[in-house]
Structure 1
């Protein structure tokens, strides 16, 4: 843990070691990320009061989901400890990372250890509102990156502007190639529209057919369903009441709600038709 923090904070960011190490460490709960060889690549901590800090990921492992996994682990700890909210001081370059994970700014920016920061807060007792495409894309990618083995995606036509975005496609590709026996079920209301749009997710499903399965709803009642969502077996979900819009709500650790969405999805899945024509296309 100290080796990772020294590499990131002391050597890379030039934070004095006497400031980086403090008396709070022994009181905190810490999480550690390791690579397949068991080498530490990331770490973070949370205090008994719910203050997240010392989030550090080695340079070679950034933008690969390690930070999201560490953050989700800390949020699980916070819920286990019965906390209603968590707080942190986000470095300026990491504000967007925390924002898309549901953290809200508190107050104005300030300088700490010579680096610009912003105080942020995450409420553990209610969903986060999603109001624009950029947040929708980041939220969807984050849900995919921390999924364990199962994803459920209910979409009208693979939502142009969302499931065709490089960030989301790359997250889905990482899920599909993780080699953990994962499965992503994708339900469409209009498979032909997705086909005409040359949706990149169709091509990914063709290359990884053992992971990605697509079906189209046929029941008239199912076809009137107005919403869209993604849910994972890690408890994350992003639900949009109107499937053609990005407006909706999301939570990263809401197992009951994610399970509810998955169970409703599976009932529709059983009576939907397999999209065999999409697998045959050389898009």
Structure 2
């Protein structure tokens, strides 16, 4: 797997242990002051390891997948952060788990890194805890089949993931743009990235009450106003559609998040499940075709 100026590969631990530990020592021991004796353990010899290297072959990032399906020891040297190295490492480990036939993977995320993991479909599990003197959150990603979304935290995580993982197409069906969810900071940032990407993208938003959205002044309105060619918006008009209580978010990567009760967070979600997401998209397409343009929102400049 290659990125801009770097590459990521699964590597044999005996041959690359020096490079792997060089990165981990720099990040965990020297930077985060984790005790040196905790940096390496007996699981290293039995884990799958990935190593990121720069164009000169120098190690810049590392991570591992333990035999019980836990991703850990994710580390990227400071000069390379924010350049896609961490995401490439994570995706390589997820693919290694999938290739091994695992149904799910888990990890312990340092709290500042939670959004990084949610972008790739990891959902928070349980309470915050301390590990090596640092606050962590347990997270997991289901690799086979759908997952039930039960909490507001999980709803925010999966919404962020579906928007972030969209390639060129995004569908949103929401009664009033889901205050507290679609306007949450991680989701807004994902929507901004989606809308401002260089290659053409399109998002279709179907709402039920444009006047209420305009009155509430949703933070999303500014984004929709700046990028009207990307974010198209209609209001349902058919009586059958008006009676729909559900809400749905899906993309062209086969990811979806469906809520039978649109005013609630609990629902069903899946990543890379086109067989489940395609019928939902077909249904939203029919609703879109029956819906009308939102004159109420055009009045504020859309």
Q: Same fold by TM (over 0.5)?
A: yes
Please give the alpha-carbon distance, in whole angstroms, between the structure 2 residues aligned to 1:116 and 1:203: 35
Query: C-alpha offsets along residues 96-128 of structure 1, whole Å, 9 cap, x if unaligned?
Result: 87688225359x95755x656676654444543
1:136 Cα deviation after fit: 2.3
The match for 1:51 among 70, 74, 80 is: 70
1:155 Cα deviation after fit: 0.5
1:51 Cα deviation after fit: 2.8
SS of equivalent residue, structure 2 residue 63: strand
Give the direction of change, closer, same or farther, for the CA distance of 1:66–1:232 in structure 2 (3 Å limit): farther
The match for 1:12 among 28, 31, 35 is: 31
CA contact (8 A) 1:68 1:146 kept: no
SS of equivalent residue, structure 1 residue 195: helix
2:268 matched residue in structure 1 = 249
Query: C-alpha offsets along residues 220-264 of structure 1, whole Å, 9 cap, x if unaligned?
Result: 222222100211223332221111122223333433323332232
Name the count of aligned residue pairs: 277
Please give the alpha-carbon distance, in whole angstroms, between the structure 1 residues aligned to 2:241 and 2:257: 20
Q: How does 1:63-142 map to 2 (within 5 A)?
A: 71=90, 74-91=93-110, 101-105=122-126, 111-112=131-132, 122-142=141-161
Please give the alpha-carbon distance, in whole angstroms, between the structure 2 residues aligned to 1:32 and 1:269: 44
Query: C-alpha offsets along residues 55-91 of structure 1, whole Å, 9 cap, x if unaligned?
Result: 2355688799976675455434423432123233445
Instruction: Provide the TM-score with structure 2 as the length reference.
Output: 0.72
Instruction: Provide the TM-score with structure 1 as the length reference.
Output: 0.76
**Unpaired runs of 5+ in structure 2?**
1-7, 9-19
1:30 matched residue in structure 2 = 50
Give the direction of change, closer, same or farther, for the CA distance of 1:74–1:103 in structure 2 (3 Å limit): farther
User: Bigger shift: 246-255 or 142-151?
Assistant: 246-255
The match for 2:217 among 185, 189, 198 is: 198
The structure with the largest alpha-carbon Rg is: 2
CA contact (8 A) 1:155 1:228 kept: yes
User: Bigger shift: 150-159 or 173-182?
Assistant: 173-182
User: Bigger shift: 271-280 or 198-207?
Assistant: 271-280
* TM-align CA RMSD: 4.0
